[in-house]
A and B are shown apart, each in its own frame.
Chain A
Amino acid sequence: MASNKKYWKNEAELNPNDSIVEALRQNEFVEEIPVDDFLGDKQNLSTSNTNRRDFLKYVGFSTAAATLAACEGPVIKSIPYVVQPDRIVPGVPNFYATTIANGFDFASILIKTREGRPIKVENNTEAKVAGGANARVQASVLGLYDSTRLQGPIANGEPIEWQALDAAVKSKLGSLQGSGKQVALLTQTYASPSTSRLVAEFKAKYGNVNHVTYDAISEDAALTAFEARYGERALADYDFEKAEIIVSFGADFLADWQGGGYDSGYSKGRVPKNGKMSRHVQFEANMSLTGANADKRVPLTPSMQMIALAKLYAKLNGTSAGGELPQNVEMAIENVVAQIRKNKGGAVVVTGIDDINAQAVVLAINEMLGSKAFDTKAPRYVRQGSDKAVNALVADMKAGKVGALIMDGVNPMYTLPNTADFAEGIQNVDLSVLFSTNYNETAEVTQYTAAANHYLESWGDAQIKKGHYSLMQPTIRELFDTRQFQSSLLNWMGSDSSYYDYIKETWNTFILSGNDWNKALHDGVFAASSEATTNVEDAASVADPMMVMTDTDKEEADQSEETEMEPATSISIDSAVRSLANANTAGMELTLYSKVGMGDGRQANNPWLQEFPDPITRVTWDNYITISKADAEEMGFVNEHVANGGLDGSYANVSVNGVAVNNVPVIIQPGQAKGSIGLSMGYGKKAGMKSEMQTGVNAYPLYQNFKSIQSVTVEKAAGMHEFACVQLHKTLMGRGDIIKETTLQIFNTKDHSEWNHVPQVSLNHQEVPATSVDLWDSFDRSIGHHFNMSIDLNACTGCGACVIACHAENNVPVVGKKEVRMSRDMHWLRIDRYYSSEDSFEADNVKKEELDGLWGEKGSLSGFGEMEDPSTNPQVAFQPVMCQHCNHAPCETVCPVAATSHSRQGQNHMAYNRCVGTRYCANNCPYKVRRFNWFLYNNNDEFDYYMNNDLGKMVVNPDVNVRSRGVIEKCSMCIQKTQLTILEAKREGRLIKDGEFQTACSSACSNGAIVFGDVNDTESKVAELAKSDRMYHLLEHVGTKPNVFYHVKVRNTNEA
């Protein structure tokens, strides 16, 4: 099965005559060592003042000097604590449970601290909601040590004292009382009970306070639809683990859709158990992470998606809806309806269409189906923003009705579509204060910029889902003279209690209902028993902070929007369906989205995230327009590879109603719906950023009316853009069987030898399985630990949390855009993305059979041209690849200095201090997982990311060596972690339980795709997985006997 399919990573590979692809196949290191640059230039050499004798003198002198200098070691100082804190033992990490709630990402996490410094984010396994830490959350720890952070409050560009800021704000707030002008709080979504209570008290004290919550990427449509139907401004929660049929209309729910965090539940349903797994059908325009994981993906422009959704509703409802759809889409809807009818409770429909009607219809469908995966009783609070309120505020500002504007966690001058209005409005505001960790676009126009804490320095709490509370505690004291927003509010209200006391009071009064505060703080999460929650809801007398907020907010909304239309208390589903069915659009349809690596752009100055390759396009350090091949050809956009493996793309100008964003690079994206383009937000930030981080273009100006779907005009612009794209790096070398997949039907009915075929080799003129032939004497590994890693291609969604976790754990350097372009990225763990196209070829076969004659409707002349392009809608598979730790490692045998060697425990060791940098090992590695340090990346100002400043270096893991120039490095299977686990067991004199052994990637994978353990422990999970029928090793015929194994990807292609 698997071997019949054609896999490719890049479209260029589909062209058999592409010389660059051929060259890349042959060369491990594309870049020649640039000796010719300085030796080839004869003229330059002859005119040089340095003659041969001088050269020898310099060499002699420097050698002698270096030798002499090496004789005397430096004097190293060691400074112990004066008073050592009780819990800190140098060399032993401490873990603290906390929560990230930065307005875009919400997750309960553990923070690993060493000598008091937070260095790593781990998943909090106690947390039951909102999944694990995604790539951005994993990377957020680096933001703490950002050297561009504000180190104290600023007034009009000049540093000031907090007292001065406090005095100014207090006097202004006092004078505004009764003046008729409002005090506006423009903040991120907190989902925080304590903050809500605090804001309510602040309102009570200062009267005319208008609290506006603003999400840069708005979920207003979903919130309003939910509010209209269920009376609460929240988001429905979905448990995809319980869903057997998942139908998504443009909902990228594995990424950031409605706050994200759905991937771990989804993954659990994707692993075939007892012959069953969920079926996922995705209708979408952009090739999203979710679409890439779908069993069936239908590329469809947003307006068509609306029609399709209307049809789905109508068919389930037994009515009919208008609108025209292509026949294959009609078929797909028909099949989906048939499947849902068979299993109503097991189906769930979601949509990311930024339209209140679509959201309302989806809620209606799920309710109608009685979906098990659909939860409206305990909704999520991770998005609260109101477009209407934001627009009203900007209007008020312009009208001079706002006396004071206090902002926290938002950057409207960057994220608002119409920043000019805001800039004009803020001129009419008497006092403007921005709480921000960095100097940003908004700080440029506000009077006071209050340096805010990083979340790892702050107290806080969050109610991510109703009844599920989490606490945020500081893991380090403020590095700079900063203060968090809530503490400042308390200060300005004249309260002398700290925010910590305030949270504790809130929790003890409203949340804990007698449970222990210290335990809640230790766990980081607290789930109110269902009884308690109902009590709070029923007892109206109890002032639930959440209620307080919503009530007062409503009042505010009512007051300020009297003239405007009342929010529809109930949306008529029939009219909603009708308006969906009538959806049409002229021109290209743009879908704005957020990238897995960048989100809404608040972490744009995080080099880990900038260098994180996008799961789909594999492009780093950029955003771009994604366009279908057909459209690109029509408009003249090209993508081409240059000799060093770099990718170049045309530029385009995009405009919406006269608002233009110019010179956006274009990527031709297989699977992009024809007639649609995609563009990610979060890039193009400029203010307060290092020049290296100022990448991409800002797409927010196109986010008109906070709608992610826009009708745009696209035209070609001059020039070519140089991408730093890793997709052609480390090519397949023609070894297509590196990835294996099958369908659920075959998986259930046929023997595993058919769908998980072991390659055969000839031994004594007989075909035998490659696994049974061994050229080498095997080492006996039956004693002690033998580490194995299992990667389930069904559970892996390609989210990339493991990539960042590996980065943080192993001090992997950031090399920058230019170096990535030259295939010098250092990621120890990469997630390969393969396209394949079985479906379309089958259709072609039918078509080819039916060809009749040369001319005419079925003539071969036109017919072959019409044949489907494999890249219009490819299937996608993700495959995380790190060092496979082969038992017969090809790298070990070719190392001339024995720098890489094997251990009894199954790990392939790499002694950096022994390596001389011949790179033979990298050449001989069939998996291309070895990385060469072309430069010294630490303490080198040429690489101004984080390892060159004292602040950034604090994130470095002290247990792992920081590699130097000229050595090869690679995945060590986190030997520092396995060794520590062993040591702890030895010290305590006990055996090691299964699950104790973890690597950075396996513990970061909340989807359960990566499982690590000791196969010699027969009870362990990894030993069980190793016996699975789906298990295979990469490139088995090479005979390397890796210690990492994979599970064949199974697709649920059952159409009926």
Chain B
Amino acid sequence: MRKVQYRNQITKFLGLSFLVSFIFTVSVSAQDDTAEVAETPVAETAEASAGGDPVKGKSLFQQNCAACHALNRKMTGPALANVETRLAEEEGLDKEWLYAWIKNSPGMIKSGDDYAVRIYNEYNQAAMTAFPTLSNADIDDILAYTAAPPPAAATAAAPTEVPGGGGAQPSGISNEIILGALALVFALLIFMLYSVNKTLRRVMAANDLEVEQEAAQKRTPIWKAFAQNQFLVLVTVIFLLLGSAYFAYGWMMQVGVDQGYAPIQPIHYSHKIHAGANKIECKYCHSSARVSKHSGIPSLNVCMNCHKSIYEYTGGPDGPSQEDLANGYTNEFYTNEIKKLYKAVGWDEENQKYTGESQPVEWVRIHNLPDFAYFNHSQHVSVAGIECQTCHGPVEEMEIMYQYSSLTMGWCINCHRETNVKVEGNEYYEKIHAELSKKYGVENLTAAQMGGLECGKCHY
């Protein structure tokens, strides 16, 4: 009798929970579907302007011009939106002038062309690169693009705005639904257990059965029996002491280990965007890792190599994910961070000039090796050829940089024990590796066998 009831209980519970989870999963995937549909970019429908293909023009523009020109703002060079008509209307210059200018601007400046010299002086005498390889047709394409840019930008922006805002809500609700459903399940569970208990008691009462409590009273309670068994007590105490010592040791050992330390930085710099999405090589910015003990926090002039022309964040092709939006990482947010960089480096966007008023950025240092441990990046990066990720983790996925490894001595030593020395093509190692590997009878020496465990190699 009891058993049957019990089984019922289980099936009921399983069935219910399955149902709940099923409903929940379906609803979530349904949400995703709609979002995807909404985000599908609208096909480019803009008409091509006469004489050029704006789509081709766009790619040519991105390749050749975008480093110094934007459509609607001054950069190193002037804004180029509707440049053809603007020139024709304001300066009376025709397309031929533009062809000549683009193909050989220094020549035109030399020849003393009035507008050429004027524009040259206006932009700080920064000479424009000559593009003799561009054909007239190419230039037509570019001009077509500048005259009526394909709506890619607009369409790209639109979905980031609209469905982005919409997409955030269902994702927020779905979390609440999960929690709500879970609460419901537990409430049901409690209710069922209670009713089962009640039913059983009622059944017992109906059958005139009584719980045999007297038997239980006759036996010594288990805790008393336990307390009387001295051996058991001893074992337990030892066990408890050892256990707490283990945990205490574990806890003490993590004192001063800042694994996972992810401080808030003065500028929200996203490695995910730079190293992940844009695939910028680590050592492009952290160049001193190749030659120095420090990997070096890049100086702001390195940032400006790119950010002179990248003045706003337009997001990936898919726009910000819901998770990003939940964290507030909108395009405006990132663009604002770029403005912080401009402020720090003293870059006047309007006039495309350095003002000379800079404010060095006080980054919060994440990896703090103690003073008594000497670590040299170039040894590991240049000589051993170790990937940065080996120690720093998946930086390309880190929106906020954090300390991935523990940076403890045990961690260092483990790696030195397991890692083979990279000797290929390095004359320095030739002799010593041959001799040492013969001595130790191994094919490949580990860093430890090379002497990488000696105290003085890192402590001096």
Contact = CB atoms under 8 A, between A and B. Distances in A.
B379 A989 contact: no
B344 A962 contact: no
A920 B12 CA distance: 75
Interface in A975-989: 975-976, 979, 982-983, 985-987, 989
B455 A986 contact: no
A264 B389 CA distance: 52
A786 to B, nearest CB: 12
Interface in A221-258: none
A912 B455 CA distance: 10
Interface stretch (B44-52, B77-85, B269-277, B425-433): B425-433
The interface size bin for chain B is: 35 or more
A961 B375 CA distance: 12
A73 B258 contact: yes
Interface in B421-460: 425-429, 431-432, 435-436, 439, 451, 454-457, 459-460
A79 B359 CA distance: 10
B299 A81 contact: yes
A246 B288 CA distance: 54
A343 B325 CA distance: 95
A498 to B, nearest CB: 22
Interface string B394-432: 000000000000000000000000000000011111011
B256 A70 contact: yes
Interface stretch (A38-46, A310-318, A740-748, A903-911): A903-911
Given A80-B300, A960-B460, A784 B432 contact: yes
A81 B360 CA distance: 7
B299 A991 contact: no
A912 B459 contact: yes
A972 B451 CA distance: 17
Contacts of B344: 82
Nearest to B424: A989
A904 B457 CA distance: 11
Contact of B428 (A80, A81, A992): A992
A1028 to B, nearest CB: 26
Interface in B276-326: 288, 291-294, 296-302
B110 interface: no
B456 A90 contact: no
A993 B301 CA distance: 38
Contact of A89 (B256, B288, B432, B436): B288
Contacts of B370: 913
A79 B358 CA distance: 13
A983 B432 contact: no
A494 interface: no
Interface residues of A, number: 49
Contacts of A784: 432, 435-436, 451
A83 interface: yes
A735 interface: no
Nearest to A980: B376
A586 interface: no
Given A911-B456, A983-B379, A985-B428, A80 B368 contact: no
B288 A92 contact: yes
Given A983-B378, A987-B382, A79 B361 contact: yes
A73 B299 CA distance: 26
The residue among A78, A780, A960, A985 with the most chain B CB atoms within 10 A of its own CB is: A78
A522 interface: no
A691 interface: no
A990 B427 contact: yes
Contacts of A992: 428
B456 A910 contact: yes
Given A905-B451, A909-B454, A962-B371, A989 B426 contact: yes
Interface in A902-944: 903-905, 907, 909-914
A901 B360 contact: no
B455 A909 contact: yes
Contacts of A92: 288, 291-292
A630 B188 CA distance: 111
Contact of B454 (A81, A91, A903): A903
Contacts of B235: none
Given A82-B299, A986-B428, A992-B428, A75 B455 contact: no
B428 A990 contact: yes
A469 to B, nearest CB: 34
A985 B293 CA distance: 15
Contact of B439 (A783, A911, A913, A976): A783
Contacts of A904: 451, 454
Interface string A990-1009: 11100000000000000000
A79 B456 contact: no
The residue among A73, A77, A83 with the most chain B CB atoms within 10 A of its own CB is: A83
A47 interface: no
A763 B376 CA distance: 48
A949 B374 CA distance: 24
Nearest to B358: A82
B459 A82 contact: no
Contact of B429 (A911, A976, A986): A986
B383 interface: yes
Contacts of A91: 288, 292-294, 296
B26 interface: no
B346 to A, nearest CB: 8
A73 B256 contact: yes
A84 B363 CA distance: 16
Contacts of A986: 379, 383, 426, 428-429
Contacts of A79: 360-363
Nearest to A982: B428
B198 to A, nearest CB: 51
A77 B363 contact: yes
A913 to B, nearest CB: 4
B99 to A, nearest CB: 38
A1017 to B, nearest CB: 11
Nearest to A985: B428
Nearest to B362: A77
A539 interface: no
Nearest to A83: B301
A65 interface: no
Contacts of B431: 991
A76 interface: yes
B205 interface: no
A982 B454 CA distance: 15
Nearest to B435: A783
A783 B301 CA distance: 46
B263 interface: yes
Contacts of B361: 79-80
Nearest to A782: B435
A975 B374 CA distance: 11
A80 B429 contact: no
A83 B455 contact: no
A899 B296 CA distance: 31
A907 B435 CA distance: 21
B41 to A, nearest CB: 39
A889 to B, nearest CB: 13
Given A75-B364, A90-B296, A989-B426, A84 B456 contact: no
A959 interface: yes
Contacts of A982: 428
Contact of A90 (B294, B362, B379, B429): B294
Contacts of B460: 909-910, 960-961, 972, 975-976
9 contacts: A80-B297, A80-B299, A81-B300, A89-B288, A904-B454, A912-B459, A962-B371, A986-B428, A991-B428
Interface of A: 70-71, 73, 75-84, 89-92, 780, 783-784, 899, 901, 903-905, 907, 909-914, 959-962, 972, 975-976, 979, 982-983, 985-987, 989-992
* 6 interchain residue pairs of minimum CB distance: A909-B456, A91-B292, A84-B299, A81-B299, A91-B294, A78-B365
Given A783-B439, A911-B459, A913-B372, 5 more contacts: A78-B365, A92-B292, A976-B460, A983-B378, A992-B428
